Amino acid sequence: MNKRLLPLLVALSAGGAWAGGEETFQQVCSTCHAQGDKGSPKIGDVRAWNKLIKEGQANITADGYAGVRAMPARGSKPELSVAEFASAVVFMANQAGANWKEPDDAMLKKINARIDKRSVVKK
């Protein structure tokens, strides 16, 4: 099986059609990130996103997915897949000047490894 299709197939089987980054942002993330509520970096705010972008795609995606600071895990949408969440992070970061690509298998592996590491630390 084509390794690039695996994340898509996993996302599709996990509960319906896979939403793209902008769509996930609109449906989930915009609740806080459209206005910068609760200390969240407002979409398009270069200054607010710059520090996060410097942390790297895998790190901020995994941390946000697991929940960080005032942000609830998965943006309070427990059925959100890692691939969907990662795509929304790419969309938001790119609005602030990042040039990130949609996560491929290697990136998803890094993200999942950090998520797993965070869950072990929390126990």
The model's pLDDT over 17-56, given as tens digits with 9 standing for 90+, comes to: 457 999 999 999 999 999 999 899 999 999 999 999 999 9
CATH class, 18-122 region: mainly alpha
pTM over the 0.85 mark? no
Three-class SS of residue 71?
Answer: strand
**20 class by beta-carbon count within 10 Å (0-12 exposed, 13-18 middle, 19+ buried):** middle
Residue whose pair of structure tokens reads 């929390």 in the numeric block: 122
